[in-house]
Chains A and B, each alone.
Chain A
Amino acid sequence: MGVIVGDTVRGLYHAVFRPSRLVAVPGRRTDRSTAEVLRQSWQLLVVYLANLVLYAGPLTLAGIGISAGSSVPNWLVGVTGEEPGTAALFFAGFLQNSLYLFGVTVATLVGVHFALLVTLQSDGFFRTAYSIVYSTSIYLAGIFTIVWYLTTAGGVANARQFVINLQVEFIYAVIDLLGSDIAFQIARPETIVPGPFSVVGEAALVALAVLVVYYFYSLYLGTRLNHDAGRFESYLVIVVVVALPVLYVVGSIVATTIQQGSMLA
């Protein structure tokens, strides 16, 4: 018990004050045996799954995701059935809540490693996975938790609308950039800030922004330390991660445009 508490406190200290300790693979040896790599990969998987549970578990218990009375998505009906019990609802909600973080983790991992391969800086997939697992399961999970909080809590309406407006404005900026005349289902906000923020709303937004800074910094550090990359390559990795949502929106616009074109034809 004492060891767990000690490790947790040390982990929190590193997360706040020494992100480099968190994301750097211990030791710089690259001549590890297959057994050693497998053992370390297993440990990494356990860390990731534990953090995923720590993130998605409380969200599901708080009733976010799928709760009684809500409909089960088609893709889960095969697992939970049309009229699922409480345990199945919890499991389905947990899966639903985990998927966001898992999806972004995979996308970030692929994007970052692709950037490292292109710049010939990669020292191996494991080293990338190590930093991404810690970056996403701590800082990104924190970001998602705050977004969930803003989505569900009372007294933070303006902060919630501000975050939504930022995302809508971002999508419209990409649509404008492509010169597309596609209509997005949410109207462009007239103003980004809907009104003065409450104290709690402002604190949540500050925490959100600080976590975003930490997230990008941890990705930068992971690239620098685990792959001995230069500053340019490390900045490039951040550019790739920032570009991932842009690519996602561009892909959605292209898909919608093709769909509309085929419907007109």
Chain B
Amino acid sequence: MTTQSSVDGNGAQERDTDSPERQDSSRPQAAASLPIETSPTIRPVLVWMVITVALAAAVIGYVSSNTDQVGGQEIANILVQVVVVIALLVLVRLAIKVFVLTRTEYVVDATRIRRQYSLLLRTWEREIPAEMIRSRELRQSRIQKLLGYGTIEINRGLGDIRLENVENPHDIADALTVITRSDSDSKL
């Protein structure tokens, strides 16, 4: 078993191991109840897959039934194939994302934030010590908002960690605030 580890200038540490080990995950607990161990949901990605299929079907249906408007049968055939190719590429990309997300785990405790995923018998791990947190950004797309999920980006552009598609994102964001404050207070 090999382990590689690196620390960037902002304290984020990355580890890459051959171990497929994973800890059990659970949904986040109360806002500032630490540690929080959670896994991302794949529901928003599944919704995007459905949207992709529906959009592709709608465009193909329109083009197939209005061949004269798109310039004839030959051009319609080309357009249909283009839509099929692009839809397939998007679906493969989303399927890879589902595959990675189902193997990802986030841990937030009083001393660090960690993101870890295992793929093909290797494990990637990235963590930021609490004292190195400089910023956090909570974002919710329309689909995430509807489903009650969100993405939290910590130290964006500074060797960041993305906690993607997490349930109760506001609770986790609050927990991060608590960690940052308590760390500042302890320094004072």
Contact = CB atoms under 8 A, between A and B. Distances in A.
Given A205-B78, A210-B82, A213-B86, A28 B71 contact: no
Interface residues of B, number: 18
Contacts of B147: none
B98 to A, nearest CB: 13
A31 to B, nearest CB: 11
Looking at B79, B82, B93, which has the most chain A CB atoms within 10 Å of its CB? B82
B22 interface: no
A193 B71 contact: yes
Contacts of B86: 210, 213
Given A18-B93, A29-B157, A197 B74 contact: yes
Contacts of B89: 16-17
A197 to B, nearest CB: 6
B75 interface: yes
Contacts of B92: 17
Contacts of A16: 89
Contacts of B72: 192-193
Interface residues of A, number: 17
A204 B164 CA distance: 38
B156 interface: yes
Interface string A205-247: 1100110010000000000000000000000000000000000
Nearest to A13: B96
A242 B182 CA distance: 53
Contact of A193 (B75, B79, B82, B157): B75
A20 to B, nearest CB: 11
Contact of A27 (B71, B79, B157): B157
A162 to B, nearest CB: 8
A162 B157 CA distance: 46
Interface of B: 71-72, 74-75, 77-79, 81-82, 85-86, 89, 92-93, 96, 156-158
Question: Which 6 pairs of residues, A with B, have the shortest CB-CB distance?
Answer: A28-B157, A209-B82, A17-B93, A206-B81, A193-B74, A205-B78
Given A192-B71, A193-B71, A210-B82, 16 more contacts: A16-B89, A17-B92, A17-B93, A27-B158, A28-B157, A162-B74, A193-B74, A196-B74, A197-B74, A202-B77, A206-B81, A206-B82, A206-B85, A209-B78, A213-B82, A213-B86
